[in-house]
Structure 1
Amino acid sequence: MPPRLAMMSQVDFDGPLARRLWNKCRRESTLSKYTPFCVCLACGCLDIDTFRCYIDQDIHFLEAFARAYELAAECADDDDAKHSIIELRKEVTEELKMHASFVKEWGGEDRKAAPVSPATVKYTEFLLATASGMIEGLNLATPFERTKVPAYALGAMTPCMRLYAYLASEFKVAIGPVYGDHLYKTWIENYASPGFEKAAERIEDVLEKVATTLTGEELDTIEKLYNKAMKLELDFFWSQPVGQKTVVPLIRNHNPAVDRLVIFSDYDLTCTVVDSSAILAEIAIVRAPKSIPNPDPDQPAEEQTIRMTSAELKNRWGDISRQYTDEYEDCIDRITTSRTDEFRYDDLCRALEQLSAFEKRANDRVIKSRLLKGLNFDDIKRAGEHLIIQEGCFKFFSTASRNERLNVGINIVSYCWCGDLIRSSFNSAGLLTQVSIQCNEFMFEEAVSTGDLVRKIESPIDKVRTFRKILGNYSTDKNNFSLYIGDAVGDLLCLLEADIGIVIGSSSSLRRLATRYGVSFVPLYPNVVRKQKVLTGETLLSWKRLSGVLYTVSSWAEIHALVLGC
């Protein structure tokens, strides 16, 4: 565990400062683009009065931005830095002129400007306080200490520029090459332009220069300011008064009196960074003796326990793993010989029955090898507590289970050999009572594994049967809406039978097999934008099970944004 953490920590220090800070705020940038305001703006259907209100707020913000540059320049002790900051301020002046053209284009010249919103006030006050040297936990009293203010101020201002460039480019990708009669084309083109991208890069370059002499502690302060600015940006977009019906978040359209959200998720490589089978094998190898003493000649042969050294276990596990990989690829090749452009679920089920038979034979091989015999329950529990979880995964489950507006059921459906490993993992996050876990189980004698399994879920067919059974067990007094999150071929049938099937990760075998049977993989965000554009009637009805369409995401933050919003 420690070597991996050390490696991850080292990555954090690679690359330019602004890039590192931006990468650490991917969650906030993702949540921002999924806000009702941004989704409606992206598709061009945002109510015009909402957009005008937003422009009014943004003008207040840009005026504060210009003032913050002035304050930062006053504290700069380097002529080059001062000049660079003054030049950045000039760009804000140009952006304010652009906003004046927005006001003219969208016909709001004669109307009364909207009052400043609480979210705008909170953001601008934070910005001006930072540029004035009033930073929580710091006392910048001396002239020398105040020379650090430009770096702190730019740390709070840089994420705004980068976020706008990011959002506009994401909107442009979601819309595609043809804008048609898109109402907000000018706005998107301005912020997605090479010119604005260069402006974002310029402020990042100036931040890099003014931060070169800072200590590690001072760089930590910049990171905190950057992160807070991103959170305030998210609050700013989330607070825009969108009164129209929206596709996202799902909770916005959820009536707890009549609706129930049923969440399903795979575990290995969906929730976790590494596969649990490798963890269990590693425990067995580490705990095995380095050498085996000669057997007692006076003991009957049938009473002698046959054991393997750690080296023998490692070699045996390597052989079994290689055999599994080779035979799995052969099986996938056999069931992907035919191809159809039409989605054919029944044909896919028949193909996966062949894979199911293979998976069960592979488990037979592991059990007969006795590789998993002798594992101590406490070792398994500790391993579960320290498993590396995908960023945002447990936060999503925790937030969903605590949300009073949701009637939610959370179910883990997994091939994992050992349910105790999963339970320990969820228990370490305080989530054990919030989830139902369905998987295989180790058999134990006096807290030591026998090497046998209670085999419950070994194949795609087993998984989808379990999925159907769980869904059927929920009472019919409410509308059950299902969401399944998975990453591999084993999840395919469940993904397709759920109202929304979300694929996280990039399994080549999943895509290769599924596309052969007419399944389409589409990025979630552009699809959300398209659904918003054509939205009529009930929003949940726009998601259809067994449609042959699966939605791809790059992180759990996207799933969180879709379901729960900010």
Structure 2
Amino acid sequence: MDTWTEGFGQEGGLFRRLREACAADWRAYTWHPFVQGLSDGTLPLAAFRRYLIQDYLFLIHFARAEALAVFKAESVEAMREKAEAIRAILAETEMHLRYCASWGLTEADVRAAPESAETVSYTRYVIDRGLAGDILDLEVALAPCTVGYAEVAQRILADPRRRAEGNPYQSWIDTYADPGYQAMAKAAAARIDALGESHGGHARFAGLSATFAEAARLEARFWQQGLDAAEGDMVPHEKVQR
């Protein structure tokens, strides 16, 4: 077990078991070259702009998946929790548009952009798992996004090569390093552990593990689309200034 598991989930709980079962895919996602570029400030602007647009489109479907979780929830308390998550995501979409504007992307640019193949494949996979399965299947598909971004922020903050001063991506890093976001991620991991106990997670581990690993791989591909976009429109990192 590495130190990154310590903040999320309980030892022996379902979340840590899922993460450990796909350790290589998980690290490829949470320490992808895109993330490393965020950390040291060298990520090409074209890569970040592509990511920002697609991430907005992703958030729309993420809210739909959380709405499905309200339907799948098995208690009023869980329904309230998920309803609050939907409100938070929809508020985040508005903040996301303002953030895009600060990088020269208008709301019209973002809304008019077509969904990439990576966005379609990831979001529809999560929704499909929720439609086909129960609340545990859906939450396991959602967790790599929610918890993974919290770990990404922690990895960046611990990176000895991190550009702490003048990093053009510092505001993005701050968003996911924020104590509020970190607490939300810990709650998501704890929910996986609790659902694992109440919904037979041990007996279903093989299937749940396959879902979790695939979501992690889809997250890595989501980062990669930004780097692929930058190959044809490379912006030297010295010019990435705000």
- TM-score of the superposed pair, with normalisation by structure 2: 0.80
Residue pairs, 1:41-56, within 5 angstroms: 41-56=38-53
Write out per-residue CA displacement over residues 283-341 of structure 1, whole angstroms, 9 at most, x where no aligned residue.
xxxxxxxxxxxxxxxxxxxxxxxxxxxxxxxxxxxxxxxxxxxxxxxxxxxxxxxxxxx
Q: Tell me the amino acid that sits aligned with residue 237 of structure 1.
A: W
Shift of residue 87, structure 1, vs aligned partner:
2.5
Mapped partners of 2:76, 2:183: distance in 1: 22
Q: Following superposition of structure 1 onto structure 2, how do residues 475-490 of structure 1 map, counting pairs within 5 Å?
A: none
User: In the TM superposition, what whole-angstrom CA distance separates every residue of 1:379-437 from its partner, at most 9, and x where no partner exists?
Assistant: xxxxxxxxxxxxxxxxxxxxxxxxxxxxxxxxxxxxxxxxxxxxxxxxxxxxxxxxxxx
Per-residue displacement from partner, 1:519-562 (whole Å, max 9, x unpaired)? xxxxxxxxxxxxx979xxxxxxxxxxxxxxxxxxxxxxxxxxxx
- Aligned with 1:220 (options 178, 189, 206): 206
- Out of 151, 156, 179, the residue aligned to residue 164 of structure 2 is 179
* Residues 206/35 of structure 1: CA separation in 2 closer, same or farther (3 Å cut): closer
| Residue in 1 that maps onto 2:179 | 194
**SS at 2:168's partner residue?**
coil
What corresponds to 1:131 in structure 2? Answer: 130
Question: Which structure has more RCO (C-alpha within 8 Å, separation ≥ 6)?
Answer: 2
Partner SS, residue 183 of structure 1: coil
Matched residue type, 2:76: D
> How far apart are the structure 2 equivalents of 1:120 and 1:178?
29
Alignment of 1:229-248 (within 5 A): 229-240=215-226, 241-243=229-231
**Is 2:75 aligned against 1:78?**
yes
Q: Does 1:27 align with 2:27?
A: no
Alignment-derived partner of residue 122 in structure 1: 121
Q: Contact (CA 8 Å) 2:137, 2:208: kept in 1 or not?
A: yes
Give 1:203 deviation, angstroms: 1.5
Q: In the TM superposition, what whole-angstrom CA distance separates every residue of 1:338-357 from its partner, at most 9, and x where no partner exists?
A: xxxxxxxxxxxxxxxxxxxx
- Cα distance change on mapping 1:209 and 1:48 into 2, 3 Å: same
Equivalent AA in structure 2 for residue 116 of structure 1: E
Residue 94 (structure 2) pairs with residue 106 (structure 1): no
Greater strand share, 1 or 2?
1
Q: 1:34 to 1:74 in 2, by over 3 A?
A: closer
1:14 is displaced (CA, Å) by: 5.0
| 3-state DSSP of counterpart to 1:45 | coil
Residue type of the partner of 1:172? Answer: L
How much has 1:24 moved relative to structure 2?
2.4
* 1:217 partner SS: coil
Letter in 2 for 1:239: Q
Superposed displacement of residue 18, structure 1: 1.2
Q: 1:245 to 1:89 in 2, by over 3 A?
A: closer
* Shift of residue 161, structure 1, vs aligned partner: 1.4
Deviation of the 1:197 alpha carbon: 0.9
Tell me which amino acid in the other structure corresponds to 2:197.
T
Report percent identity of matched pairs.
26
Deviation at 1:97, TM superposition (A): 3.2
- Once the two structures are TM-superposed, the CA of residue 49 in structure 1 deviates from its matched residue by 2.8
Q: CA deviation at 1:93?
A: 2.5
Gaps of 5+ in 1: 1-12, 136-148, 247-531, 535-566
Per the alignment, do residues 163 and 244 of structure 1 end up closer, same or farther by CA in structure 2, a change over 3 Å counting? farther
The Cα shift of 1:75 comes to 2.3
Equivalent residue for 2:142?
Answer: 157
Any conservation in 1 of the 2:146–2:185 contact (CA below 8 Å)?
yes
CA deviation map 1:185-232 (0-9, x unaligned):
100111122211111112222223333222333343222211111111
Give the AA of the match of 1:214: H
Counterparts of residues 472-551 of structure 1 (less than 5 Å): none
SS in 2 for 1:181: coil
Cα offset for 1:60?
1.6
Distance change in 2, residues 1:98/1:175 (3 Å): farther
The answer to whether the aligner puts 1:40 opposite 2:28 as a matched pair is no
Partners of 2:165 and 2:83 in 1: CA distance = 39
Distance in 1 of aligned mates of 2:102 and 2:84: 28
C-alpha distance in structure 1 between counterparts of 2:86 and 2:205, whole Å: 23
- Asked whether the 8 Å contact 1:68–1:127 carries over to 2, the reply is yes
Contact 2:40–2:162 (CA under 8 A) maintained in structure 1 = no
CA distance in 2, matches of 1:163, 1:244: 28
Query: Taking structure 1 as reference, are residues 226 and 177 closer, same or farther at Cα in structure 2, changes over 3 Å only?
Result: closer
**More helix per residue: 1 or 2?**
2
Aligned with 2:39: secondary structure?
helix
Deviations 1:68-123 (A, max 9, x none): 11112112232222222223323323432332232122121266234211111100
Q: Note if 1:91 corresponds to 2:88.
A: yes
Structure 2, gaps ≥5 residues long: 1-9
Assess, with a 3 A threshold, how the Cα gap between structure 1 residues 221 and 110 changes in structure 2: closer, same or farther: closer
Conserved? CA contact 2:150–2:185, under 8 Å: yes
Partner Cα separation in structure 1 for residue 109 and residue 156 of structure 2 = 29
1:204 is the counterpart of 2:201: no
Contact 2:65 2:126 in 1 (8 A): yes
CA RMSD after TM alignment? 2.7
